[in-house]
C-alpha cells in the first residue's frame, strides 16, 4: 500500500495576465482534493466476504429447517407405526403414580360443539368404554356450546359410556366457560366443579337466522328458488320472514328448550324435585361460579386437580394406586405431512358452515353475531 497521500497534489500558480513575468518565482501551492468514492480493492474484498458469510448463514438456516423437519417427520412416523389400530388414541400422564394400572381418564370437550361422530370426543369415549383399567372419568369442559344436535349427541354418548361401564364415576371439571351446550353435557356428571373464574349457565336455545334482503337489493342480487311447498324456503336470508314462519321457528325453539330443561332435571336431582327453581334460572343468563354454586347449578368451586381427587375418591382410589391420564389424537400419515394434527380443534371451514346454516343452537349468545334487541 502506498505511504503517501494521493489526495494531495502540487499545483503551480498561474502566470499573471498580460504575459508579464513576476519578479520572483512563486513557490508551489498544495490543495486537498476530495477523497475517492470508489470501493477499492479492500472494499471489494470486504463486500465479497460479507456476501459469502450471508449466503453461508442462510444455507445453514435452510439446512437446519430441512433436517429438523425430516427428524420431526421421522419421529412422528415412528410414533404412528407404534400405535396399533386397536389403540386409536395415545395417553399422556398427568398426575398420580406413573406405574399404576388404575386410570382416571380426563375426557376433554373443547371449543364449539358440532357432534362429529368420528371426532376426538367420540374416540375418547369409545376408548374409555374398551379400557377396563379406567376406573373413573373427569369430564373437562371448556366450551360455549354449539348445535343442539351435537350437544345432545355427546350427552347421549356420555350416558351410554356410564351405563356400559356399570355406572362409571364421572366428575365434571369446567374450564373458562361451560355455557349453554357446555352446561347441557355437564349435567351427566355425578359431581360438577367449576373454577373460580368459570362462566356457566346460559340455559336456553337460539336459532341463528339472518335477513340480508336489503343488502341483496343494493348489490343487485335477486333470489328466485323453485320450491315444492310454501315453507321449503323458510329460513333463507334472502327473503323476509313471515309471521307464520316465525311461529314455526318459535315452536322448534320451545320444544328444544323443554328438552334442555328435561336433561338438567334428569342430571340434577335438586331441580327434579323443584322444577320451578330451574325455570327461574333458565332465562339464557350466564352465571359466575359463585352464582352457579348458590343456585345449585354446580356442586363446588375447584380446579382440575380437585375434580381428579373427587373422581379418585368415588372410585375408591388414591394417588398411590392410580394415575390421571389425558388422551391425544392418533397421528395419521397425511397429518404428519401437512402438520394438521389438531385440525378438528380449530374453527375450520366445516365449523363455519355449521354456524352459518339455519339450525337450533345451545350457544352462549356472544359467540354468534346476533341482531340487536328491539
Q: What HEC string does 330-356 produce?
A: CCCHHHHHHCCCCHHHCCCHHHHHHHH
Separation of alpha carbons 335 and 77, rounded Å: 10
User: Which candidate in 151, 173, 180, 208 is catalytic?
Assistant: 180
Say how many CA atoms lie within 13 Å of 276 toward its Cβ: 0
* Residue 332 contacts residue 80 (beta carbons within 8 Å): yes
Separation of alpha carbons 166 and 159, rounded Å: 11
User: Which candidate in 130, 217, 232, 246 is catalytic?
Assistant: 232
Burial class of residue 140 in the structure, from the number of CB atoms within 10 Å of its CB (0-12 exposed, 13-18 middle, 19+ buried): buried
180 is catalytic: yes
232 is catalytic: yes
Cα angle 234-239-240, degrees, rounded to a multiple of 5: 90
Rounded (10°) CA dihedral 60, 66, 72, 76: -170
* Residue 180 contacts residue 363 (beta carbons within 8 Å): yes
* Residue 246 contacts residue 211 (beta carbons within 8 Å): no
* Residues assigned a catalytic role: 180, 232
Amino acid at each position: 500500500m502506498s505511504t503517501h497521500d494521493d489526495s494531495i497534489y502540487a499545483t503551480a500558480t498561474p502566470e499573471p495576465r498580460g504575459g508579464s513575468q513576476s519578479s520572483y518565482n512563486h513557490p508551489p501551492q498544495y490543495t486537498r482534493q476530495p477523497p475517492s468514492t470508489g470501493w477499492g480493492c479492500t472494499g471489494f474484498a470486504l463486500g465479497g466476504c460479507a456476501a459469502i458469510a450471508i449466503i453461508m448463514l442462510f444455507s445453514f438456516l435452510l439446512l437446519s429447517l430441512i433436517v429438523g423437519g425430516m427428524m420431526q417427520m421421522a419421529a412422528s412416523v415412528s410414533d404412528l407405526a407404534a400405535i396399533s389400530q386397536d389403540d386409536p388414541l395415545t395417553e399422556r400422564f398427568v398426575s398420580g403414580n406413573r406405574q399404576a394400572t388404575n386410570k382416571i381418564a380426563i375426557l376433554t370437550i373443547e371449543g364449539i360443539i358440532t357432534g362429529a361422530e368420528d371426532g376426538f370426543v367420540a374416540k375418547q369415549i369409545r376408548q374409555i368404554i374398551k379400557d377396563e383399567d379406567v376406573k373413573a372419568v373427569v369430564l373437562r369442559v371448556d366450551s360455549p356450546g354449539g348445535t343442539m344436535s351435537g350437544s345432545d349427541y355427546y350427552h347421549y354418548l356420555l350416558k351410554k359410556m356410564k351405563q356400559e361401564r356399570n355406572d362409571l364415576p364421572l366428575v365434571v371439571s369446567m374450564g373458562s366457560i361451560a355455557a349453554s351446550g357446555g352446561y347441557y353435557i355437564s349435567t351427566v356428571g355425578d359431581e360438577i366443579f367449576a373454577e373460580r373464574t368459570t362462566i356457566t349457565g346460559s340455559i336456553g336455545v337460539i336459532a341463528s337466522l339472518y335477513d340480508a334482503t336489503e343488502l341483496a337489493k343494493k348489490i343487485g342480487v335477486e333470489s328466485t328458488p323453485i320450491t315444492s311447498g310454501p315453507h321449503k324456503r323458510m329460513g333463507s336470508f334472502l327473503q323476509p320472514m313471515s309471521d307464520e314462519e316465525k311461529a314455526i321457528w318459535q315452536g322448534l325453539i320451545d320444544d328444544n328448550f323443554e328438552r334442555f330443561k328435561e336433561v338438567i332435571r334428569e342430571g340434577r336431582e335438586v331441580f327434579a324435585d323443584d322444577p320451578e327453581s330451574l325455570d327461574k334460572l333458565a332465562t339464557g343468563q350466564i352465571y359466575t361460579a359463585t352464582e352457579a354454586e348458590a343456585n345449585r347449578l354446580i356442586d363446588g368451586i375447584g380446579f382440575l386437580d380437585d375434580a381428579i381427587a373427587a373422581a379418585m375418591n368415588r372410585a375408591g382410589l388414591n394417588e398411590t394406586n392410580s394415575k390421571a391420564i389425558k388422551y391425544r389424537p392418533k397421528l395419521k400419515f397425511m397429518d404428519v405431512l401437512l402438520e394438521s394434527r389438531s385440525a378438528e380443534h380449530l374453527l375450520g371451514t366445516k365449523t363455519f358452515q355449521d354456524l352459518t346454516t339455519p339450525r337450533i343452537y345451545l350457544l352462549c349468545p356472544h359467540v354468534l353475531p346476533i341482531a340487536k334487541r328491539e
